[in-house]
Amino acid sequence: MKTIRQRLAVLTVSLMTTGALGAMAAPAVAAGGSPDASPETGGAQAAAQSCTKATDQESGASAKYEITSGDDTRTYILHLPKNYEQHRNWPLIVAYHGRGSTGTEIEGFSGLSSLPAVVAYPNGEIGTGSGYRQAWQGAPYAPPGVDDVKFTSDLLDQLQSDYCVDPSRTYATGKSNGAGFVNLLACRMADRFAAFAPTSGAFYPQATEGCDSAKPVALLDIHGTGDSTIPYAGDPDRKLPAIRSYVADWAARDKCDPNPSTRRIGTDVTVYDWTNCAAGDVEHVAVTGGGHVWPGTNTYSGGGHVTHTIAAQDVMWRFFSEHRLAAPRGAMS
Protein backbone atom coordinates (compact mmCIF):
# COMPACT_ATOMS: atom_id res chain seq x y z
CA MET A 1 0.00 0.00 0.00
CA LYS A 2 1.22 3.47 -0.85
CA THR A 3 2.11 5.91 1.88
CA ILE A 4 0.37 9.26 1.74
CA ARG A 5 3.64 10.84 0.50
CA GLN A 6 3.65 8.40 -2.41
CA ARG A 7 0.00 9.13 -3.12
CA LEU A 8 0.58 12.84 -3.14
CA ALA A 9 3.46 12.42 -5.58
CA VAL A 10 1.29 10.36 -7.93
CA LEU A 11 -1.82 12.50 -7.71
CA THR A 12 -0.16 15.94 -7.86
CA VAL A 13 -2.32 17.43 -5.16
CA SER A 14 -3.11 21.14 -5.45
CA LEU A 15 -4.30 23.64 -2.86
CA MET A 16 -7.73 25.13 -3.54
CA THR A 17 -8.31 28.65 -2.29
CA THR A 18 -11.96 29.48 -2.99
CA GLY A 19 -15.33 28.47 -1.53
CA ALA A 20 -15.31 25.38 0.62
CA LEU A 21 -12.44 23.74 -1.25
CA GLY A 22 -9.20 22.93 0.57
CA ALA A 23 -6.02 20.95 0.37
CA MET A 24 -5.55 17.46 -1.05
CA ALA A 25 -7.91 17.74 -4.02
CA ALA A 26 -7.31 15.22 -6.80
CA PRO A 27 -6.99 16.93 -10.17
CA ALA A 28 -6.47 13.56 -11.90
CA VAL A 29 -10.23 13.63 -12.61
CA ALA A 30 -11.27 15.47 -15.74
CA ALA A 31 -13.99 18.05 -15.18
CA GLY A 32 -17.34 16.37 -15.66
CA GLY A 33 -15.64 13.04 -16.25
CA SER A 34 -14.81 9.87 -14.38
CA PRO A 35 -11.62 9.09 -12.45
CA ASP A 36 -10.26 6.63 -15.01
CA ALA A 37 -10.98 8.41 -18.28
CA SER A 38 -11.24 11.87 -19.75
CA PRO A 39 -14.41 12.75 -21.70
CA GLU A 40 -14.45 11.49 -25.27
CA THR A 41 -15.81 13.68 -28.05
CA GLY A 42 -17.29 12.86 -31.42
CA GLY A 43 -18.19 9.77 -33.41
CA ALA A 44 -18.16 6.22 -32.11
CA GLN A 45 -16.14 7.11 -29.02
CA ALA A 46 -18.80 9.56 -27.82
CA ALA A 47 -21.55 7.00 -28.43
CA ALA A 48 -19.62 4.35 -26.50
CA GLN A 49 -19.17 6.69 -23.54
CA SER A 50 -22.67 8.19 -23.44
CA CYS A 51 -25.30 7.13 -20.91
CA THR A 52 -28.02 4.93 -22.38
CA LYS A 53 -30.37 5.02 -19.37
CA ALA A 54 -33.03 7.66 -19.83
CA THR A 55 -33.88 10.07 -17.01
CA ASP A 56 -35.99 13.21 -16.85
CA GLN A 57 -33.64 14.75 -14.30
CA GLU A 58 -31.38 17.50 -15.59
CA SER A 59 -27.60 17.19 -15.39
CA GLY A 60 -26.11 19.37 -12.68
CA ALA A 61 -29.35 19.32 -10.68
CA SER A 62 -30.79 17.56 -7.62
CA ALA A 63 -34.22 15.96 -7.19
CA LYS A 64 -36.11 14.04 -4.49
CA TYR A 65 -37.26 10.46 -5.01
CA GLU A 66 -39.08 7.71 -3.15
CA ILE A 67 -38.16 4.05 -2.86
CA THR A 68 -39.90 1.11 -1.21
CA SER A 69 -37.70 -0.84 1.19
CA GLY A 70 -39.42 -3.67 3.02
CA ASP A 71 -42.78 -2.28 4.15
CA ASP A 72 -41.54 1.32 4.26
CA THR A 73 -41.47 4.17 1.79
CA ARG A 74 -38.11 5.91 2.05
CA THR A 75 -36.82 9.06 0.39
CA TYR A 76 -33.52 10.37 -0.93
CA ILE A 77 -32.08 13.32 -2.82
CA LEU A 78 -30.16 12.48 -5.99
CA HIS A 79 -27.66 14.82 -7.62
CA LEU A 80 -26.50 14.25 -11.19
CA PRO A 81 -23.19 15.87 -12.19
CA LYS A 82 -22.75 18.24 -15.10
CA ASN A 83 -22.57 16.41 -18.44
CA TYR A 84 -24.08 13.31 -16.79
CA GLU A 85 -25.59 12.11 -20.07
CA GLN A 86 -22.18 12.09 -21.78
CA HIS A 87 -20.72 9.22 -19.74
CA ARG A 88 -21.87 5.73 -18.92
CA ASN A 89 -20.01 4.86 -15.72
CA TRP A 90 -20.02 7.62 -13.13
CA PRO A 91 -18.73 7.04 -9.61
CA LEU A 92 -21.53 6.92 -7.01
CA ILE A 93 -21.25 8.46 -3.54
CA VAL A 94 -23.91 7.83 -0.88
CA ALA A 95 -23.86 10.45 1.90
CA TYR A 96 -25.68 10.01 5.23
CA HIS A 97 -26.76 13.01 7.31
CA GLY A 98 -26.40 13.31 11.07
CA ARG A 99 -29.08 12.89 13.74
CA GLY A 100 -31.88 15.40 13.31
CA SER A 101 -30.57 16.52 9.93
CA THR A 102 -31.69 15.73 6.37
CA GLY A 103 -30.29 14.73 3.02
CA THR A 104 -30.91 18.26 1.80
CA GLU A 105 -28.86 19.72 4.65
CA ILE A 106 -25.80 17.51 4.15
CA GLU A 107 -25.90 18.29 0.44
CA GLY A 108 -25.95 21.97 1.33
CA PHE A 109 -22.87 22.03 3.55
CA SER A 110 -20.75 19.14 2.27
CA GLY A 111 -19.77 20.28 -1.21
CA LEU A 112 -20.15 16.70 -2.42
CA SER A 113 -22.39 17.76 -5.30
CA SER A 114 -19.47 19.71 -6.76
CA LEU A 115 -17.58 16.46 -7.40
CA PRO A 116 -17.63 14.58 -10.75
CA ALA A 117 -19.91 11.85 -9.39
CA VAL A 118 -23.54 10.91 -8.92
CA VAL A 119 -24.36 11.60 -5.27
CA ALA A 120 -27.30 10.19 -3.29
CA TYR A 121 -28.39 11.76 0.00
CA PRO A 122 -30.79 9.37 1.78
CA ASN A 123 -33.12 10.49 4.57
CA GLY A 124 -33.22 8.63 7.87
CA GLU A 125 -36.38 7.46 9.61
CA ILE A 126 -38.13 9.21 12.49
CA GLY A 127 -39.01 7.30 15.64
CA THR A 128 -39.41 7.61 19.39
CA GLY A 129 -35.94 6.18 19.87
CA SER A 130 -34.46 9.10 17.98
CA GLY A 131 -36.25 11.78 19.98
CA TYR A 132 -38.62 12.28 17.03
CA ARG A 133 -35.69 13.24 14.83
CA GLN A 134 -34.38 11.52 11.73
CA ALA A 135 -31.60 9.11 12.60
CA TRP A 136 -29.79 6.02 11.38
CA GLN A 137 -29.28 2.46 12.55
CA GLY A 138 -26.14 2.12 14.65
CA ALA A 139 -26.98 4.37 17.60
CA PRO A 140 -28.96 3.96 20.86
CA TYR A 141 -31.46 6.55 19.61
CA ALA A 142 -32.08 4.87 16.24
CA PRO A 143 -35.73 4.40 15.26
CA PRO A 144 -36.92 1.04 16.68
CA GLY A 145 -36.77 -1.82 14.20
CA VAL A 146 -35.23 0.24 11.41
CA ASP A 147 -33.16 -1.71 8.87
CA ASP A 148 -31.05 0.92 7.15
CA VAL A 149 -28.63 -1.72 5.88
CA LYS A 150 -31.42 -3.23 3.78
CA PHE A 151 -32.53 0.26 2.75
CA THR A 152 -29.01 0.95 1.54
CA SER A 153 -28.89 -2.32 -0.38
CA ASP A 154 -32.25 -1.56 -2.00
CA LEU A 155 -31.10 1.97 -2.84
CA LEU A 156 -27.91 0.73 -4.49
CA ASP A 157 -29.89 -1.83 -6.48
CA GLN A 158 -32.20 0.90 -7.78
CA LEU A 159 -29.49 3.42 -8.57
CA GLN A 160 -27.30 0.87 -10.32
CA SER A 161 -30.28 -0.30 -12.36
CA ASP A 162 -31.67 3.11 -13.32
CA TYR A 163 -28.60 5.34 -13.63
CA CYS A 164 -25.21 5.28 -15.32
CA VAL A 165 -23.09 4.48 -12.28
CA ASP A 166 -20.19 2.10 -11.81
CA PRO A 167 -20.74 -0.55 -9.10
CA SER A 168 -16.97 -0.90 -8.72
CA ARG A 169 -16.68 2.80 -7.80
CA THR A 170 -19.41 3.16 -5.19
CA TYR A 171 -18.49 4.96 -1.95
CA ALA A 172 -20.08 5.86 1.40
CA THR A 173 -19.62 8.88 3.62
CA GLY A 174 -21.57 10.56 6.37
CA LYS A 175 -21.39 12.86 9.36
CA SER A 176 -21.93 12.12 13.07
CA ASN A 177 -24.70 9.52 13.41
CA GLY A 178 -24.53 9.13 9.62
CA ALA A 179 -20.80 8.46 9.91
CA GLY A 180 -21.49 5.85 12.58
CA PHE A 181 -23.85 4.15 10.16
CA VAL A 182 -21.14 4.29 7.48
CA ASN A 183 -19.00 2.24 9.86
CA LEU A 184 -21.82 -0.30 10.17
CA LEU A 185 -21.92 -0.50 6.37
CA ALA A 186 -18.16 -1.04 6.31
CA CYS A 187 -18.65 -4.04 8.57
CA ARG A 188 -21.64 -5.48 6.71
CA MET A 189 -21.49 -4.31 3.09
CA ALA A 190 -17.86 -4.52 2.04
CA ASP A 191 -19.05 -6.18 -1.17
CA ARG A 192 -21.02 -3.09 -2.26
CA PHE A 193 -18.71 -0.16 -1.45
CA ALA A 194 -15.12 0.39 -2.58
CA ALA A 195 -14.24 2.80 0.27
CA PHE A 196 -15.75 4.47 3.31
CA ALA A 197 -15.19 7.96 4.74
CA PRO A 198 -16.87 8.74 8.09
CA THR A 199 -16.57 12.35 9.30
CA SER A 200 -17.07 13.44 12.94
CA GLY A 201 -18.29 9.90 13.51
CA ALA A 202 -20.46 8.69 16.40
CA PHE A 203 -19.20 5.11 16.76
CA TYR A 204 -21.56 3.66 19.35
CA PRO A 205 -21.41 -0.09 20.05
CA GLN A 206 -24.46 -0.50 17.80
CA ALA A 207 -22.38 0.89 14.92
CA THR A 208 -19.61 -1.66 15.38
CA GLU A 209 -21.69 -4.85 15.72
CA GLY A 210 -20.04 -7.65 13.77
CA CYS A 211 -16.94 -5.59 13.00
CA ASP A 212 -14.54 -8.00 14.70
CA SER A 213 -15.12 -10.46 11.86
CA ALA A 214 -15.45 -7.80 9.14
CA LYS A 215 -13.59 -7.98 5.86
CA PRO A 216 -10.71 -5.53 5.31
CA VAL A 217 -11.93 -2.28 3.77
CA ALA A 218 -10.49 1.01 2.59
CA LEU A 219 -11.40 3.54 5.27
CA LEU A 220 -10.66 7.24 5.70
CA ASP A 221 -11.68 8.86 8.99
CA ILE A 222 -11.86 12.64 9.59
CA HIS A 223 -12.38 14.05 13.09
CA GLY A 224 -11.73 17.25 15.03
CA THR A 225 -9.75 17.04 18.27
CA GLY A 226 -11.99 19.77 19.74
CA ASP A 227 -15.27 17.99 18.98
CA SER A 228 -17.42 18.42 22.11
CA THR A 229 -20.35 16.37 20.75
CA ILE A 230 -18.37 13.22 19.91
CA PRO A 231 -15.12 13.70 21.86
CA TYR A 232 -11.89 12.78 20.12
CA ALA A 233 -10.69 11.10 23.33
CA GLY A 234 -13.88 9.05 23.57
CA ASP A 235 -16.75 9.06 26.08
CA PRO A 236 -16.93 6.02 28.39
CA ASP A 237 -20.38 7.01 29.69
CA ARG A 238 -21.80 6.65 26.16
CA LYS A 239 -19.42 3.81 25.27
CA LEU A 240 -17.84 5.89 22.51
CA PRO A 241 -14.26 4.87 21.66
CA ALA A 242 -11.29 7.19 21.37
CA ILE A 243 -11.06 8.07 17.69
CA ARG A 244 -7.43 7.02 17.32
CA SER A 245 -8.29 3.65 18.87
CA TYR A 246 -11.25 3.26 16.53
CA VAL A 247 -9.07 3.84 13.46
CA ALA A 248 -6.29 1.60 14.82
CA ASP A 249 -8.84 -1.21 15.12
CA TRP A 250 -9.52 -0.93 11.38
CA ALA A 251 -5.79 -0.93 10.70
CA ALA A 252 -5.53 -4.17 12.68
CA ARG A 253 -8.40 -5.73 10.69
CA ASP A 254 -6.63 -4.73 7.49
CA LYS A 255 -3.40 -6.24 8.85
CA CYS A 256 -1.50 -2.97 8.43
CA ASP A 257 1.70 -2.06 10.24
CA PRO A 258 0.60 -0.98 13.75
CA ASN A 259 2.49 2.33 13.74
CA PRO A 260 1.21 4.87 11.20
CA SER A 261 3.30 7.39 9.35
CA THR A 262 2.35 11.01 9.98
CA ARG A 263 2.52 14.32 8.17
CA ARG A 264 1.25 17.83 8.75
CA ILE A 265 -0.86 19.99 6.46
CA GLY A 266 -0.75 23.64 7.43
CA THR A 267 -0.77 24.34 11.14
CA ASP A 268 -3.84 22.37 12.22
CA VAL A 269 -4.16 19.13 10.25
CA THR A 270 -2.29 15.88 10.95
CA VAL A 271 -2.62 12.88 8.64
CA TYR A 272 -2.01 9.36 9.96
CA ASP A 273 -1.45 6.70 7.31
CA TRP A 274 -1.27 2.98 8.13
CA THR A 275 0.83 1.19 5.51
CA ASN A 276 1.78 -2.32 4.32
CA CYS A 277 -1.80 -3.49 4.69
CA ALA A 278 -2.76 -6.95 3.49
CA ALA A 279 -5.94 -5.44 2.06
CA GLY A 280 -7.62 -2.07 2.12
CA ASP A 281 -6.14 1.28 3.12
CA VAL A 282 -6.58 3.06 6.44
CA GLU A 283 -6.08 6.78 6.92
CA HIS A 284 -7.02 9.26 9.64
CA VAL A 285 -7.17 13.04 9.35
CA ALA A 286 -7.13 14.85 12.71
CA VAL A 287 -8.05 18.54 12.77
CA THR A 288 -6.46 20.26 15.77
CA GLY A 289 -9.21 22.10 17.65
CA GLY A 290 -11.79 21.15 15.01
CA GLY A 291 -15.39 20.94 16.17
CA HIS A 292 -18.31 18.67 15.34
CA VAL A 293 -18.29 19.96 11.78
CA TRP A 294 -17.59 19.25 8.13
CA PRO A 295 -14.08 20.63 7.50
CA GLY A 296 -13.83 23.30 4.83
CA THR A 297 -17.48 24.26 4.70
CA ASN A 298 -18.76 27.84 4.71
CA THR A 299 -22.22 26.66 5.75
CA TYR A 300 -23.27 25.64 9.27
CA SER A 301 -22.66 21.92 9.80
CA GLY A 302 -22.41 21.68 13.59
CA GLY A 303 -20.83 23.33 16.59
CA GLY A 304 -17.21 24.33 16.95
CA HIS A 305 -14.25 25.46 14.89
CA VAL A 306 -14.24 24.82 11.13
CA THR A 307 -10.83 24.54 9.49
CA HIS A 308 -10.25 25.78 5.94
CA THR A 309 -6.85 24.14 5.66
CA ILE A 310 -8.65 21.22 4.05
CA ALA A 311 -12.10 20.50 2.69
CA ALA A 312 -13.50 17.11 3.68
CA GLN A 313 -15.03 16.39 0.27
CA ASP A 314 -11.69 16.95 -1.49
CA VAL A 315 -9.78 14.77 0.95
CA MET A 316 -12.27 11.93 0.55
CA TRP A 317 -12.50 12.34 -3.25
CA ARG A 318 -8.74 11.85 -3.50
CA PHE A 319 -9.09 8.74 -1.30
CA PHE A 320 -12.12 7.39 -3.16
CA SER A 321 -10.42 7.84 -6.52
CA GLU A 322 -7.69 5.41 -5.46
CA HIS A 323 -10.07 2.53 -4.71
CA ARG A 324 -12.47 0.30 -6.59
CA LEU A 325 -14.07 -3.09 -6.01
CA ALA A 326 -12.55 -6.03 -7.86
CA ALA A 327 -15.82 -7.97 -8.10
CA PRO A 328 -18.76 -5.69 -7.21
CA ARG A 329 -22.36 -6.79 -6.96
CA GLY A 330 -24.48 -5.18 -9.65
CA ALA A 331 -23.59 -4.62 -13.28
CA MET A 332 -23.45 -1.75 -15.73
CA SER A 333 -25.56 -1.91 -18.88
pLDDT digits (tens, 9 = 90+) for 62-97: 999 999 999 999 999 999 999 999 999 999 999 999
- Our measurement of the distance from residue 297's CA atom to the centroid of its chain's CA atoms, rounded to an integer in Å, reads 16
Q: Comparing C-alpha atoms, which of 14, 8, 13, 21 is closest to residue 308?
A: 21
Q: Are 281 and 275 in contact (CB under 8 A)?
A: no
Q: What are the CA-CA distances from residue 115 to residues 90, 150, 312 (Å)?
A: 11, 27, 12
Q: Indicate the SS3 state at residue 153.
A: helix
Residue 227 lies in a domain: yes
Q: What is the CATH number of the domain that holds 314?
A: 3.40.50.1820
**What local confidence, expressed as pLDDT, does residue 330 receive?**
58
Residue 56 lies in a domain: no
Residue 333 lies in a domain: no
Cα angle for residues 118, 194, 99 (degrees, 5° grid): 65
Cα angle for residues 197, 103, 117 (degrees, 5° grid): 55
Residue 49 lies in a domain: no
Residue 16 lies in a domain: no
The rounded distance, in Å, linking the Cα atoms of 91 and 88 is: 10
Segments forming the whole domain that contains residue 72: 61-320
Residue 70 lies in a domain: yes
Residue 159 lies in a domain: yes
**What local confidence, expressed as pLDDT, does residue 29 receive?**
32
The rounded distance, in Å, linking the Cα atoms of 68 and 280 is: 33
Q: Where are the beta strands (DSSP E) in the chain?
A: 62-69, 72-79, 90-96, 118-122, 125-127, 133-135, 165-175, 195-199, 219-224, 261-265, 269-274, 282-287
* Count: domains in the chain: 1
Residues of the chain under the 70 pLDDT cut: 1-48, 330-333
Residue 39 lies in a domain: no
